[in-house]
Amino acid sequence: MSDTLTVNLTVNGEKVSRAIEPRRNLVDFLREDLQLTGSHVGCEHGVCGACTLRVNGEIVRGCLMLAVQAEGAVVETIEGVSDSGEIADLQEAFHERNALQCGFCTPGMLLAAADLLNANPGAGRDQIREHISGNYCRCTGYQAIVDAIEAVGRKRSGQSS
């Protein structure tokens, strides 16, 4: 077993301290050490976006960041933003519009969508498409996802949909 380092961070509002191998990436740490299996792993090389997480308020690819780099960081996962109700409107819109099929891309997609709408609730379809272009979905063909994000953006910015 390689040497471990102790990492202290906040995950979904809870303080966590664990001894981990320096090579362990953040999404594996969350999934395997903390059993937060809502974040998914689709490629492990930074392309698919299934591992999208929020670290200190910014979305990152959990497979491209080492867990030890999260020392002192505030990490939020799909479990956290679901329980807090922060993205309840997005989840509801995805549900109503069937903007997910297998749901494997969905946690990452929702975090990417939330990131866009927090910055720009009035984003148009092309901006939405561009923003989620790093999040692959193999099932939906994306249109329903764009529809759902657009509808929430409109609601949030007070326009009727």
Residues at the contact surface with ligand FES, assessed by CB under 6 A: 41-44, 46-51, 61, 63, 100-106, 137-140
Cα–Cα dist 14/19, whole Å: 16
What string of DSSP letters covers 81-144? HHHTTTTHHHHHHHHHHT--SS-SSHHHHHHHHHHHHHH-TT--HHHHHHHGGGS--SSS-SHH
**129 contributes a contact to other proteins by CB under 8 A:** yes
**19 contributes a contact to other proteins by CB under 8 A:** no
| Near other proteins by CB under 8 A: residue from 26, 48, 114, 152 | 48
Place of tokens 């990436």: 25
At 154, the amino acid letter reads: R
Instruction: Considering only the stretches 54-62, 65-73, 101-109, 150-158, report the one whose residues sit in contact with other proteins under the rule CB under 8 A.
Output: 101-109
| Near other proteins by CB under 8 A: residue from 26, 123, 135, 150 | 135
| Residue 51 site contact among ligand FES, other proteins, none (CB < 5 to 8 Å, cut-off depends on kind) | ligand FES
**45 contributes a contact to other proteins by CB under 8 A:** yes
**141 contributes a contact to other proteins by CB under 8 A:** yes
**132 contributes a contact to other proteins by CB under 8 A:** yes
**154 contributes a contact to other proteins by CB under 8 A:** no
Q: Is 58 exposed, middle or buried (0-12, 13-18, 19+ CB in 10 A)?
A: exposed
**7 contributes a contact to other proteins by CB under 8 A:** no
* 87 contacts 153 by C-beta, under 8 angstroms: no
